[in-house]
């Protein structure tokens, strides 16, 4: 019944055979943000197809490999290419890597994504630090028989995104003059973009941006006790009264343009975390 625990252990063992380090952070890279690994001193890369229980990634601009190495001096495990509900995967599969990161000893999860900005103060290319989310995927990765070895049955969601990491990221962004916001992310299944009426609805219920990922991973991270830093790049503006159509490559282009800023914030936050750990 509890096969998930065994899958996590299989996967952790398969990674440890190739890279026997304890990552400080696991990083999941979203649409157009895959080049973050250019800044990583790569020690080992593992294609998803060489790992058990992990499907191959199919989304546009997602590569599908695990990169193990160092970002500056920080040991990190990077997922290049993530899995989405719209690809037809179960949330259990989608969030499996988060459990593996925890099993390998990570204490922080960094997640990035591309999103549509509904808050009229946001512009394309801005970075939004996720401060909270609304799960509108109609699914939950914790549904099913609960294995007490994996975490609690009723996971608390009072603060799924780590306030300290959020403050550090915001301080770094301010220091560097990087346009950023704090906001609420609504997760939909996709794959179609939203209608005008859906944007109005999501805005009304308190969301600033909308996307098709991250929330499942953040829910599992909360269950297993990883501190989460989630960064969303606003790649298109979704103002229902002035809505243009979204081209397939517009989103990727906007995400790539914002990528150096995102990379800088992630690296600096992790370096600060590492130095704090060293002084404790």
Nearest approach in angstroms of CB 189 to other proteins is 5
Q: How far is the CB of 41 from other proteins (least distance, A)?
A: 33
Closest to other proteins by CB, 109 vs 137, is 137
Neighbours of 61 (CB within 10 A): 18
From CA 123, how far away is CA 103, in angstroms rounded? 38
Q: Kindly list the residues in this chain that would bind other proteins in the complex (CB under 8 A).
A: 58-60, 85-88, 138, 189-198, 200-201, 204-205, 243-246, 248, 251
In 104-207, DSSP assigns E strands to: 108-117, 127-135, 180-187
Tell me the closest approach of the beta carbon of residue 119 to other proteins, in angstroms: 18
CA 137 to chain centroid: 16
Beta strand 209-211 with 180-187 is parallel
Closest to other proteins by CB, 190 vs 260, is: 190
Least Å from the CB of residue 185 to other proteins:
18
Q: Which is nearer to other proteins, 152 or 189 (CB)?
A: 189
CB of 187 to other proteins, least distance (A): 13
Cis amide linkage into residue 188, ω under 30° from 0: no
User: Smaller CB distance to other proteins: residue 145 or 204?
Assistant: 204
Any idea which residue has 């308190």 for tokens?
206
Q: How far is the CB of 195 from other proteins (least distance, A)?
A: 4
Locate 243 and state its tokens.
């809505």
Question: What are the Cα distances from residue 226, in Å, to 138, 223, 257, 262?
Answer: 23, 8, 29, 20
The dihedral built from the CA positions of residue 168, 171, 173 and 179, taken in this order, carries a sign that is positive
Could you give the CA distance from residue 131 to residue 197 in angstroms, rounded to a whole number? 24
CB nearer other proteins, residue 189 or residue 276? 189
The count of other CB atoms within 10 Å of the CB of residue 38 is 10
Closer of 5 and 63 to other proteins (Cβ): 63
């Amino acid at each position: 019944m509890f096969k998930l625990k065994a899958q996590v252990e299989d996967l952790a063992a398969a990674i440890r055979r190739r890279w026997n380090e304890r990552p400080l952070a696991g990083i999941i890279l979203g649409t157009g943000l895959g080049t973050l690994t250019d800044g990583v001193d790569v020690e080992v890369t593992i294609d998803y197809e060489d790992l058990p229980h992990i499907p191959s990634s199919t989304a546009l601009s997602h590569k599908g490999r695990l990169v193990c190495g160092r970002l500056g001096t920080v040991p990190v495990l990077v997922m290049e290419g993530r899995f989405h509900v719209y690809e037809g995967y179960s949330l259990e599969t989608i969030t499996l890597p988060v459990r593996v990161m925890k099993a390998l000893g990570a204490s922080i999860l960094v997640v990035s994504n591309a999103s549509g900005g509904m808050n009229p103060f946001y512009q394309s290319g801005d970075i939004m630090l996720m401060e909270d989310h609304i799960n509108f995927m109609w699914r939950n990765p914790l549904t099913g028989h609960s294995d007490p070895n994996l975490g609690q049955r009723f996971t608390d969601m009072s603060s799924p995104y780590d306030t300290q990491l959020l403050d550090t990221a915001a301080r770094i962004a301010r220091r560097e003059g990087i346009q950023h916001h704090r906001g609420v992310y609504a997760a939909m299944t996709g794959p179609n973009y939203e209608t005008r009426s859906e944007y109005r609805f999501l805005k009304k219920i308190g969301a600033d941006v909308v996307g098709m990922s991250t929330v499942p991973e953040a829910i599992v991270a909360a269950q297993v006790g990883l501190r989460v830093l989630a960064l969303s790049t606003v790649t298109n503006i979704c103002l229902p009264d002035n809505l243009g159509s979204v081209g397939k490559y517009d989103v990727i282009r906007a995400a790539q343009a914002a990528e150096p800023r995102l990379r800088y914030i992630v690296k600096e936050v992790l370096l600060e975390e590492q130095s704090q750990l060293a002084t404790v």
